[in-house]
């Protein structure tokens, strides 16, 4: 079971992702911004951080850089809707700073499952693999 930290300033996104990951047997913790996320990581080790990029107080880009520096083994998935523009430039910067994978919002459950498999290394024949994806 993976321990996952979900970081987003939109409460609805936190709830949706929390439910999705719990159904995939993740132990989850949530944070509303990067500053809170770093506090949570310092309190308890995580296997995975899924972070939005555009947030108040401490953005996802800053969070990714800090996680890479302090907890280099933690896997990171960056996600963004791009705010007022395309998410592509933000996601490219996230990948450059060390995100293991990126997702453009909105995304389907199947896309998230595929990225989780890629990042965490679980394959379809692995007994600890995620449930079959359903959109």
- pLDDT (tens, 9 = 90+) of the chain, 135 residues, equals 899 999 999 999 999 999 999 999 999 999 999 999 999 999 999 999 999 998 887 889 999 999 999 999 999 999 988 656 666 788 999 999 999 999 998 899 999 999 999 999 864 444 344 444 333
Give, rounded to a whole angstrom, the gap between the first and last alpha carbons of the chain: 22
Report the phi/psi class of residue 64: left, alpha or beta, with left for phi > 0 and alpha for psi in -120 to 50. Answer: alpha
Query: CA 132 to CA 129: how far, in whole Å?
Result: 9
Say if residue 106 is preceded by a cis peptide, omega within 30 of 0: yes
Domains and CATH numbers, the chain: 3-120 (3.40.50.2300)
pLDDT per position as a tens digit, 61-71: 999 999 999 99
């Amino acid at each position: 079971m993976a321990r996952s930290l979900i970081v987003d300033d939109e409460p609805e996104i936190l709830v949706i992702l929390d439910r999705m990951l719990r159904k995939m047997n993740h132990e989850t913790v949530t944070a509303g911004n990067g500053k809170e996320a770093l506090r949570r990581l310092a309190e308890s080790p995580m296997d995975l951080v899924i972070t939005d990029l555009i947030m108040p107080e401490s953005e996802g880009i800053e969070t990714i850089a800090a996680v890479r520096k302090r907890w280099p083994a933690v896997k990171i998935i960056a996600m963004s809707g791009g705010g007022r523009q395309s998410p592509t430039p933000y996601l490219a910067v996230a990948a450059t700073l060390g995100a293991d994978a990126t997702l453009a919002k909105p995304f389907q459950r199947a896309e998230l499952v595929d990225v989780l498999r890629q990042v965490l290394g679980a394959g379809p024949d692995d007994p600890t693999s995620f449930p079959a994806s359903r959109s």
